[in-house]
């Protein structure tokens, strides 16, 4: 598990994002993770994207920022998808990647106990 994934998830939870979840898509040997979260408005989404890009090393342009309903940030093989809830419900990536879900609670507990 990439420690940066855990840090990003903790950041999103502290930023009051809802339904934060992570998925391990590294079957082909390349580490690749998706982190999904939801907020209520596009403006809130943009604020979270701004803070994430300041606090973590962004490796690509921010996709979807202009409209703000679904923003994708690339942090070197960790892709963060920020949704407003209606867009998240519509695209339903959680269902698509259901079998790749990571239970991050155990990783966060380990980190805090160290």
More confident residue, 106 or 19: 19
Domains of the chain with bracketed CATH: 3-101 (3.30.460.10)
pLDDT tens digits for range 54-112: 999 888 889 999 999 999 999 988 999 999 999 999 999 999 999 999 987 766 655 55
Query: What pTM does this model have?
Result: 0.88
Q: What element of type H or E holds 66?
A: none
User: What's the rounded Cα separation, in Å, for the pair 100 and 94?
Assistant: 9
Query: What pLDDT is stored for residue 82 in this prediction?
Result: 97
- Dihedral (Cα; 104, 110, 113, 114), 10-degree rounding: -130
């Amino acid at each position: 598990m990439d420690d940066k994934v855990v840090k990003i998830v903790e950041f999103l939870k502290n930023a009051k994002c809802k339904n934060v979840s992570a998925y391990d898509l590294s079957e082909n040997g390349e580490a690749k993770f998706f982190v999904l979260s939801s907020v209520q408005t596009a403006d809130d989404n943009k604020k979270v994207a701004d803070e994430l890009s300041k606090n973590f090393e962004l490796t690509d342009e921010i996709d979807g920022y202009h409209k703000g309903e679904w923003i994708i940030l690339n942090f070197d093989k960790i892709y963060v998808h920020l949704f407003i809830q209606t867009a998240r419900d519509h695209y339903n990536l959680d269902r698509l990647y259901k079998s790749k879900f990571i239970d991050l609670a155990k990783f966060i507990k380990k980190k805090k106990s160290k």
